[in-house]
Structure 1
Amino acid sequence: MTDVHGTVEPGFESVREEFATVVTDEARDGGAQLAVHHRGRLVVDLWGGDGVEGDSLLALYSSSKGAMALVTALLVQDGTLELDREVASWWPEFAAGGKEALTLRQLLAHRSGVIGAEKGLTLDELADDRLIAARLAGRRPAWEPGAGHGYHALVIGALVGEVVLRATGRTLRDLFEERVRAPYALDYYLGLPEALEPRFRTALPALLTPAEQAFLAEHPIDPDSLAALAFNVRADPSFDIVAYGNSRRVRELGPLSGGGVGSARGLSRMYAAVAGELDGRGPLLKPDVLAEFARVHSSGTDLVTGNDNAFGLGFVPLAARYPELGPTAVGHSGAPGSQAFADPASGLAYSYTRRRFAFAGGPGAPENARLVTAVATAAATRD
């Protein structure tokens, strides 16, 4: 069995045992981290597998959407942003193409229909949210805004970030740094400082079995589909999601749709500030604001992926995926299979990271279900 390093508090020994099976069976080639806070205390801090230490920084991809949602919720809480105000009232250029009535609420719920550029975006373009916003402002949406939902995989951060910039004169990244990352000393970054680059571990592609390779070969993405538009399949040169996470430009600029970089400790700590008291301070979000952002705003068949899913406002509601969690549990997964969330009902904050992509890793690699069950059971016993 692969060695597991780190500590757990008494009562969480079963979590260490479950994590040991994960890094042996699912995440050995590349390594993984698991960090859990319970009522503001770091109760699980584990890592194992090849090439990953407890303080290694990994490309955590769409975890940045959770950070984006948190800052947006803080601005709604302040009264700076209004959920039912039209996006175009802040950003007039966005009204083009029949999008003049789209609200910020609909945008956050993945209902805008503005999911990508017709001919795709290069890797360097995807690193620059201002460029993405300018490219997409005049686009006609792929469906009537508000009439359905579909995962805005690579662009929602740019769109929401532009609204924040127009409304406040500040970038969402700067607000995250000022209001969340720095005050709570998070080892999680939207824009990785160059001085921290030695701690970064490159993302690794999935190791596919012959059966998995055959499945992908038999189910290619139709280049004319909404999925091809949203996942940048039409780009030339072709889009490589692993190269995206490994790009220094992406890490430097921290695009809000997928440029988050950090450790499990850092992301768990961010969600601990949402789940309840941390460092003697109360939760970042008031209960009514968190409940509104956690409430399901989109559900059913996703027009992009074709799967049944649900979105809150920026966050993903997680009680349906992990039945142990409460109704206001919110978080976001990342492409390699990482998962992080806050569950105010139990006071839990959870972050599982992995360096190597899992096959069908998102939304959250399958081993998260076992880990979440172990964590929730241990926390309930401790309470």
Structure 2
Amino acid sequence: MTDVHGTVEPGFESVREVFAAVAADEARDGGAQLAVHHRGRLVVDLWGGDGVDGDSLLALYSSSKGAMALVTALLVQDGVLDLDRTVASWWPEFAAEGKGGLTLRRLLAHRSGVIGVDGGFSLEELADDRRIAERLAPQRPFWEPGTGHGYHALVIGALVGEVILRATGRTTRELYEERVRAPYGIDYYLGLPEELEPRFRPALPLLPTPDEAAFLAANPIAPESLMGVAFDLNADPPLDNVEYGNAPAVRAKAPLSGGGVGTARGLSRMYATIAGELDGRPPLLGPGILAEFARIHSRGTDLVTGEDNAFGLGFVPLATRYPSLSPAAVGHSGAPGSQAFADPATGLAYSYARRRFGFMAGPGAAENDRLVQAVVEAAAKSA
């Protein structure tokens, strides 16, 4: 059985028990972390598994979309960005191939149709949002913009980041560092400093059971399908997700779609900045702007994944996945099965991180169902 380390505040002992059960699962080989803030306090700080402690920095993949959404919301709140202004009004080259009418709002809701490029990207290109944006500007959309939604897995960050750069002259990474990470001492990075490299623990590949391996063999993804394009399987060679997360260039350059690196403790603290007061300071986002970003803008069958899902603006409205959360809850998962969110209705901020990829774990590995429920119940009892 895997040893569980760390602390929980009184009232959250049940969360430790659930995490211990998760850590005892052989699929956790490689380690996992769990951190929860409640009303600005770190009430759960746990880890277990091979090679991971509470300070281990992990590749948290699409968690960076949550950081991107937070910076975007701050700029909308400041009046610097207008959600209903067209992307091309900031970025004229983007108007090519019938994309001129696409608004920032629809882009953030994964409705642009620009999910990838013909021929795919190289790993070197995927590490660099400016190069991604350069290739996306002339690209034809894969469906008529605004008519449906589909997960922009590897490109949403480059698209939104280019708008932010054109509007402000600053990169999203610079704004995140200046307004979010540095002021709050957050151990979650868009661009991992070289001196922190020794703390990084590489992502580990999926170890499928025989049944899972048989399912994967029987259900290959066609490279030219919408899913194949969105996940860069139309490239030569096709993208390897583990290689992507472990690539030094991805850690250093931090593509906003999937380059975030940090601890569960750090990502939970990032979400604590919008879940309520933190360190005596008010939440970064006012209730009106947070409600707008949490409001469901796309719902139904995802044209890329084929799943029934929902998107707010950049964030995922996570009450659609975890019914115990409030409609105000926003966050984003990461490819290996990690999950993170803020729920301002209860003052909760949550982050679960794992090293090894889980089977079909993209929207958040299944153990999050148990962990989130335990956290919500513990918080309600301690209120």
TM-score between the two structures when normalised by the length of structure 1: 0.99
1:125-168 Cα distance to aligned partner (Å, 9 max, x none): 10000000000101111111100000000000000000000000
**Counterpart residue type for residue 252 of structure 1:** A
Number of paired residues?
383
Number of the residue aligned with 1:136:
136
Structure 1 residue 27: Cα displacement: 4.6
The secondary structure found in structure 2 opposite 1:97 is helix
Name the aligned partner's letter for residue 350 of structure 2: Y
Q: Does the 8 Å contact 2:310/2:320 carry over to 1? A: no
Q: SS at the partner of 2:325?
A: coil
Residue 241 of structure 1 pairs with residue 236 of structure 2: no
For residues 374 and 2 of structure 1, the distance between their equivalents in structure 2, rounded to whole angstroms, comes to 20
Match of 1:334 in 2: 334
| Match in the other structure for 2:282 | 282
Q: Distance in 2 between matches of 1:206 and 1:375?
A: 27
Corresponding residue for residue 324 of structure 2: 324
Structure 1 stretches of at least 4 aligned residues deviating more than 3 Å after TM superposition? none
Using the TM superposition, name which of 249-258 and 24-33 deviates more. 24-33
Which structure 2 segments of 5+ residues have no match? none
Matched, 1:146 2:146: yes
The CA deviation string for residues 231-282 of structure 1, in whole angstroms up to 9 with x for no partner, is 1001112210000000000000000000000000000000001100000001
Identity %: 78
Equivalence for 1:343 = 343
Corresponding residue for 1:193?
A: 193
Structure 1 gap segments, 5+ residues each? none
1:299 maps to a residue whose letter is R
Partner of 1:308: 308
- The separation in 1 between residues aligned to 2:321 and 2:250, in whole angstroms, is 30
Provide the rounded CA distance (Å) in 2 between the counterparts of 1:26 and 1:164. 43
SS at match of 2:319: coil
Instruction: Give 3-state SS (helix, strand or coil) of 1:319's partner.
Output: helix
What is the Cα-based RMSD across aligned positions, in Å? Answer: 0.6
Report the alpha carbon displacement of residue 222 of structure 1 after superposing the two structures with TM: 1.5
1:311-333 alpha-carbon deviations (Å, 9 max, x no partner): 00000001121111111100000
AA aligned opposite 2:197? E
Match of 1:67 in 2: 67
Amino acid across the alignment from 1:113? G
1:99-136 CA distances to partner (integer Å, 9 max, x unpaired)? 00000000000000000011011111100000000001
| Distance in 2 between residues matched to 1:321 and 1:240, nearest whole Å | 27
- In 2, Cα distance between the equivalents of 1:264 and 1:224? 35
1:113 is the counterpart of 2:102: no
3-state DSSP of counterpart to 1:66: helix
Preserved contact between residue 26 and residue 367 of structure 1 (Cα < 8 Å): no
Describe the SS at the equivalent of 2:133. Answer: helix
Farther off after superposition, 5-14 or 223-232: 223-232
Letter aligned with residue 320 of structure 1 = T
Q: Structure 1: how far apart are the matches of 2:224 and 2:367?
A: 33
CA–CA distance in structure 2, aligned partners of residues 315 and 224 of structure 1 = 27
Distance in 2 between residues matched to 1:126 and 1:109, nearest whole Å: 21
Structure 1 residues 40-98: Cα deviation after superposition (integer angstroms, max 9, x where no partner):
00000000011100000000000000000000000000000000000000000000000
